[in-house]
Amino acid sequence: MRRTDFRSPAARLEDSLKLLELAWMDTKEDWSDSVSQKIEDDYLLPLKGQIRAMLDTVEKLAGVMAKAERECSHPRERSSFL
């Protein structure tokens, strides 16, 4: 049975979010006005919240899929899931 991997792509997305946050902190050192604040409020903060919610959901889904794979596998294959 093919095992699903939700965690690797989610980890790459989380790493990308961290890079975005670092880049934004660097940007804010030189650009701090009402426009930059609007960009942060309207785009970056909602994006961060959406990504965090998605990462939580992916973690739950990964657990559900692992359980389903264990339960649907042949008894001889189950030891490889441990």
5, part of any domain: yes
* 36 domain residue, yes or no: no
Q: What is the pTM of this model?
A: 0.76
pLDDT score of 25 more than 80: yes
pLDDT of residue 81: 53
Domain-located, residue 49: yes
- Tell me if 53 is assigned to some domain: yes
pLDDT-based confidence at residue 74 (cuts at 50, 70, 90): confident
Domain that holds residue 55: 1-14+43-70
Whether 10 maps to a domain, the answer reads yes
Would you say residue 57 lies in a domain? yes
**pLDDT class for 48, splitting at 50, 70, 90?**
very high
Is the distance from CB of 14 to CB of 55 less than 8 angstroms? Answer: yes
Q: Identity (one letter) of the amino acid at 36?
A: S
Q: Is residue 25 part of a domain?
A: no
Within a domain: 27: no
Q: Give how many domains the chain has, as a whole number.
A: 1
Query: How many CA atoms does the CB half-sphere of 11 hold within 13 Å?
Result: 5
